[in-house]
Amino acid sequence: MSFPSTTIITARCPCRANDFSIAVPSSELPLAGSICHCDSCRHLTGCLFFAAAKWPYTLPQSPHLKSFSFSDSLNTYFCDICGTQIFSERVKANSGQQTDATETNIVYVKSGALEETEGVVKYETHLCIGDTTDGGVSDWISEVPDTSMMKRWKGMTEQREQVPVGWRAQGHSTTTTEANNSGHGADKIRGSCKCGGVSFHITRPDAKSADWSLDLRQHKPEYEKPKEPWWLSGPDKDKYTTNCCCCASCRFASGVDFVSWTFVPSHNIRPAGDAEGQDWSTSFGTLKTYASSERSEWCFCSKCGAMCFLKLNGERPNVVDVASGLLWSEEGARAEDWLWWLTEKISFDEEGGKRPLVEALRSGLKSWNEVHGNKMQFEEKAQHLGYK
């Protein structure tokens, strides 16, 4: 008698209060996955996209899974200790409609919370690219391994309209290079999580923003201090350096395969309604802090689970990593009027391993850089972005 082969798949958060392993018949793999670029997913994760796959069983029970009502028909679940987004569930009951007893809820697992995705998830569709206005990171995750033709829907699948790589909303022609070299208008940019409990704005760099003392590592003999503070970018140093990170720590903290951080001096971050000049702290709104190590503190929304900030105490407590997906810019999801994307290097690339979305990011950025790369200043900055 032979038994069908099974594969163990594990979804978990960094604090391991939520740690679920299930045996899936190998014949059911890979699980169907999709990537959503809508405004809601962006502000729910703090990342520029959200990838999920169908979990083949019912929603696991855990006292530390906190639910958030994402929409009438979708609940999301995150760790109430460390904030990681782990599951979502499509339900009928929320809408007030009669529940069909034969119809079971569909459970999705967040791709970044999965230990492994190679051979486990097959990403089939991009959703809601239209929300990004500028293509967001859909332009960089165009060639996903083992996926011959990913559909690139402008909206949800029902809408049937696809958009190509490099698509821009009508009247929107800006590319990274153009945006990086153009002037800017607004003097602040708003940021918020999906539920609005964490709401803030960022101001343009000022004289104090370029103060080297913000990076405490400068005093270490082994630290090669670059000519200019690495967190400011652009010809006029009026943009904030931004890059993608593939480290396991960021991935598990967000539930997203790769995250994007914008590096901002703390005095340039103002909680909504806060008086100017007041010291910034991570105790505003619905923020909750999780200390993942002696060095680092994650700050997430305790109501919706959005990843918001990462602080490296002891190294650069006053240059804060801001989750780029929280920002609202008319330029689009990449907020290129404020952010300078370092597209030539992925932070902790090696930790991304063979995850399909990281492989896609590598090849997508390579193609992107041939046309739009921000080579200027790159070499020098890249050495100073290391964090974990």
Give the nearer residue to Zn ion in terms of CB position, either 144 or 312. 312
Residue 17 binds Zn ion (CB under 5 A): yes
Give the nearer residue to Zn ion in terms of CB position, either 184 or 190. 190
Buried b (16+ CB within 10 A) or exposed e, 127-156: bbbbbbbbbbbbbbbbbbeebeebebbbee
Question: Rounded to a whole number, what is the distance in angstroms from the first to the last CA of the chain?
Answer: 49
Stretch that binds Zn ion, among 28-36, 108-116, 200-208, 274-282 (CB under 5 A): 28-36
Residue 361 binds Zn ion (CB under 5 A): no
Long-range contacts of 354-357 (CB under 8 A, 24+ apart): 354/118, 355/116, 355/117, 355/118, 355/246, 355/257, 356/117, 356/118, 356/121, 356/123, 356/144, 356/145, 356/146, 356/147, 357/35, 357/51, 357/111, 357/117, 357/123, 357/141, 357/144, 357/257, 357/258
Determine the Cα–Cα distance for residues 236 and 238; give it in Å rounded to an integer: 5
Question: To the nearest whole angstrom, how small is the minimum distance from the Cβ of residue 348 to Zn ion?
Answer: 5
Instruction: Build a one-symbol-per-residue string for 223-262: x at contacts with Zn ion by CB under 5 A, - elsewhere.
Output: ----------------------x-x--x------------
Question: To the nearest whole angstrom, how small is the minimum distance from the Cβ of residue 388 to Zn ion?
Answer: 6
Question: To the nearest whole angstrom, how small is the minimum distance from the Cβ of residue 355 to Zn ion?
Answer: 14
Cβ pair 282, 342 in contact under 8 A: no
Determine the Cα–Cα distance for residues 90 and 92; give it in Å rounded to an integer: 7
| Distance (Å) of CA 216 to CA 145, 220, 314, 369 | 41, 8, 7, 32
- Contact pick of 52, 193, 269, 308 for Zn ion (by CB under 5 A): 193
Stretch that binds Zn ion, among 149-157, 159-167, 186-194, 326-334 (CB under 5 A): 186-194
Residues 6+ apart with CB under 8 A from 355: 116, 117, 118, 246, 257
Going by C-alpha positions, the residue among 175, 154, 152 that lies closest to residue 334 is 175
**Site size with Zn ion, rule: CB under 5 A:** 19
Question: To the nearest whole angstrom, how small is the minimum distance from the Cβ of residue 12 to Zn ion?
Answer: 8
Residue 15 binds Zn ion (CB under 5 A): yes
Determine the Cα–Cα distance for residues 198 and 302; give it in Å rounded to an integer: 9
Residue 144 binds Zn ion (CB under 5 A): no
Question: To the nearest whole angstrom, how small is the minimum distance from the Cβ of residue 312 to Zn ion?
Answer: 11
Give the nearer residue to Zn ion in terms of CB position, either 180 or 302. 302
Give the nearer residue to Zn ion in terms of CB position, either 247 or 358. 247
Question: To the nearest whole angstrom, how small is the minimum distance from the Cβ of residue 366 to Zn ion?
Answer: 20
Determine the Cα–Cα distance for residues 141 and 149; give it in Å rounded to an integer: 12
Omega before 271 cis (within 30°)?
no
Residue 82 binds Zn ion (CB under 5 A): yes
Give the nearer residue to Zn ion in terms of CB position, either 232 or 301. 301
Length of the chain: 388
Cβ pair 202, 329 in contact under 8 A: no
- Contact pick of 11, 36, 107, 256 for Zn ion (by CB under 5 A): 36
Q: Kindly state the tokens that stand for 135.
A: 């293509």
- Contact pick of 110, 201, 239, 303 for Zn ion (by CB under 5 A): 303
- Contact pick of 144, 163, 256, 301 for Zn ion (by CB under 5 A): 301
Torsion angles phi and psi, residue 167, rounded to 5: -60, 145
- Contact pick of 9, 48, 53, 195 for Zn ion (by CB under 5 A): 195
Instruction: Build a one-symbol-per-residue string for 259-298: x at contacts with Zn ion by CB under 5 A, - elsewhere.
Output: ----------------------------------------
Question: To the nearest whole angstrom, how small is the minimum distance from the Cβ of residue 286 to Zn ion?
Answer: 6
Residues 6+ apart with CB under 8 A from 149: none
Give the nearer residue to Zn ion in terms of CB position, either 316 or 372. 316
Give the nearer residue to Zn ion in terms of CB position, either 117 or 180. 117
Residue 79 binds Zn ion (CB under 5 A): yes
- Contact pick of 56, 145, 155, 197 for Zn ion (by CB under 5 A): 197
Residues making contact with Zn ion (CB under 5 A):
13, 15, 17, 36, 38, 41, 79, 81-82, 193, 195, 197, 245, 247, 250, 301, 303-304, 306
